[in-house]
Chains A and B, each alone.
Chain A
C-alpha cells in the first residue's frame, strides 16, 4: 500500500488537558476501505482521539491527515469528507425518515437531484418504502441505527466514524448492521469503529487497543489472539486493559 491509499495517517498525535495527557503520542495508518476497530476501556482516550480525527478538537502536538487533509490547516475539508454516527442517536425524532434524509444530505452538500436519487435508493435498500413519511421516533431502535448509518454515508465520505453504533441492539439486527458496514467497506469507504461487543472486534480488518492514552497494540484480530495466546478478542482485551494504571 503506498501513501496515497491511506485515508488516515497519525504521527505522535497527542492531546493534553492541563497536565493530564488524554491521548499520548499515537501513531497509525488506516487504509482505504479498511474496517478499523478502535478499542479501549472507558477513559482510555478514545473519544478525545476521535474528536481530533474528525477535526473537532485541535491536537496539542503531533501530526495527522484525514482523507488527505491536514488536521490543523483543513478541519473544514475533513468534516466534508467524513461521516459520523454514535450510540446516542443523532437523527431528528420528530422529522420523518424522508425529511431526515433530505436534511442531512443537504448539509453534506448533495444536489437536489442526488438527494432524490440516493434518498430513494437508501429507502429501498432498508425496505422502508411504506414508512418513509413516518416519524423517525416511531422506528424500532435497530432501524434507527441502520438509518443513521446509511445517512452518515449518503455523501460517499472517504471515512465513516462509528462510536458504539450497536449498543443495546438485538443480536440479529446487530449482524444486519455489520452487513451494512461490510458493504460500505466494499465500496471503498474506510470504517473507523468503536464497540463494547468484543466479538464485533473480530469482524474488523485490524484492531487497535488504547490503554491509558497510548495505542498499546495494533494488528489483525487473528494476529492479536496469536500474540497474546488468547482464544477470543474479549480475552485479549481483558488481558491488556487490566494493565491500565489510570484510575480516577
Chain B
C-alpha cells in the first residue's frame, strides 16, 4: 500500500533520514520505533506531503505522493506529534470542521469513530483547548478518521502519556485495524513494538531492522543472561571491569548481559563474587525488543555522539 524508495532528507546539511526504503502492506499495523531525532517525523511529513524529500520517492496505492499529492491527501488521516486541532473550537466543531473540509459529514462515517468519540460526547461543547491530554488525543484521532482514510499516520500519539492511557490508545488502534484501517504509527516506547504486526527500528536516520517483533527477537545472535541482585549499581560497575564482558544494561530490577562467548551461569556468578557482589542470581533469558534495539545500536555504531553531523 505504501512504498518508501530510498528516501533522503537533510536539514542544513545534516542528514535526518538516510536512504530509507520499506513498505507497509494493506491492513497492517506498522510501527516506526526509535528515540527523538531518529527521523520518524521527517518520514511521516514526506509521506503526508507536507515536506519534500531531497531524493527518493514514496508510492501510495502505486501513485507518487509528490506528483499525485491530492490523492494521498484525500486518503490519509494524519495525526502530527503536536496537538494541532483548533483550541478555540469546541469538540463537536472541530470534528464538523474536519468532516466538512473532506466533503463528508459526521453521520456518514460515524461507525468508524463511534467507540472513540462516544467517550467524548459528554464534553461535546467544551473547547478543545480545555480538554485533558487523553481526551485531546481521542479527539485528534476522531478528526483524523472522520473522512474514512485508507491509511492512518500517527506521529508519537502516546508520547508523554501515562501507562493507562497508552494501553487504552493501543486498544483503540487494535479496534481500527480490525475495521480494516491500515495504520502507520511511531513511538519512542520500545514496549509498544510488540503490539505492532511489523516494526522498523530506527536510529539516527537509519533503519536498524525491519521485521515482525518475533522475527527481530529471533535474530538476536548473542547469549543473554539476566542477573538479579539488590545491588544494581555496584554490580553494573563490577561488570564493566570484568574480562570477557561485552554489554550489560539494567532493566528494572534485573541486569541483562549480552555475550558472544559462552560463559556459563556458574562462571559468571563466580566472577561477580570475586568482585565483591555477594547476592546475585544468574539465569539465561530471552531478549525483548529493547535488548535488540540496544544491541543493534552498539553493533551499528549508532550511539549518540556530539559533533557527528
Residues of A within 8 A of B (CB): 40-43, 87, 128, 130-131, 134, 138-143, 164, 167-173, 175, 178-179, 182, 186, 196-203, 221-222, 232-234, 237-238, 241-242, 244, 248
Q: Mark B276-309, 1 if CB is under 8 A from A, else 0.
A: 0000000000000010011001100001111101
Contact of B164 among A134, A202, A233, A238 (CB under 8 A): A238
B83 within 8 A of A: no
Assess whether A171 is in contact with B290, with CB atoms less than 8 Å apart: yes
Once A134-B307, A169-B36, A199-B251 are accepted as A-B contacts, the answer to whether A87 and B163 lie under 8 Å apart by CB is no
Query: Within residues 194 to 228 of chain B, which ones have a CB less than 8 A from any CB in chain A?
Result: 203
Once A175-B249, A248-B135 are accepted as A-B contacts, the answer to whether A41 and B306 lie under 8 Å apart by CB is no
Once A128-B306, A175-B249, A241-B164 are accepted as A-B contacts, the answer to whether A170 and B134 lie under 8 Å apart by CB is no
Q: Mark B246-277, 1 if CB is under 8 A from A, else 0.
A: 00011111000000000000000000000000
Assess whether A170 is in contact with B203, with CB atoms less than 8 Å apart: yes
B37 within 8 A of A: yes
Assess whether A41 is in contact with B165, with CB atoms less than 8 Å apart: yes
Closest to B122 in A: A248
Contact of A130 among B134, B161, B307 (CB under 8 A): B307
B133 within 8 A of A: yes
Once A140-B305, A198-B163, A238-B167 are accepted as A-B contacts, the answer to whether A172 and B132 lie under 8 Å apart by CB is no
Once A87-B160, A172-B294, A222-B253 are accepted as A-B contacts, the answer to whether A141 and B134 lie under 8 Å apart by CB is no
Complex-state Cα separation, A218 to B238, whole angstroms: 30
Residues of B within 8 A of A (CB): 34-38, 122-123, 131-135, 159-165, 167, 188-191, 203, 232-233, 236, 249-253, 290, 293-294, 297-298, 303-307, 309
Chain A residues near B293 (CB-CB < 8 A):
171
Assess whether A43 is in contact with B132, with CB atoms less than 8 Å apart: yes
Assess whether A42 is in contact with B162, with CB atoms less than 8 Å apart: yes
Q: How far is the CB of A128 from chain B (nearest CB, A)?
A: 6
Assess whether A164 is in contact with B306, with CB atoms less than 8 Å apart: no
Contact of A131 among B38, B163, B233, B306 (CB under 8 A): B306
Q: How far is the CB of B116 from chain A (nearest CB, A)?
A: 15
Closest to A178 in B: B250
For the A-B complex with A42-B161, A130-B306, A164-B160 known, give 12 more contacts whose Cβ atoms are closer than 8 Å: A42-B133, A42-B165, A140-B304, A168-B159, A170-B35, A171-B290, A171-B294, A171-B297, A172-B249, A186-B233, A248-B123, A248-B135
Assess whether B167 is in contact with A232, with CB atoms less than 8 Å apart: no
Once A42-B134, A178-B250 are accepted as A-B contacts, the answer to whether A172 and B167 lie under 8 Å apart by CB is no
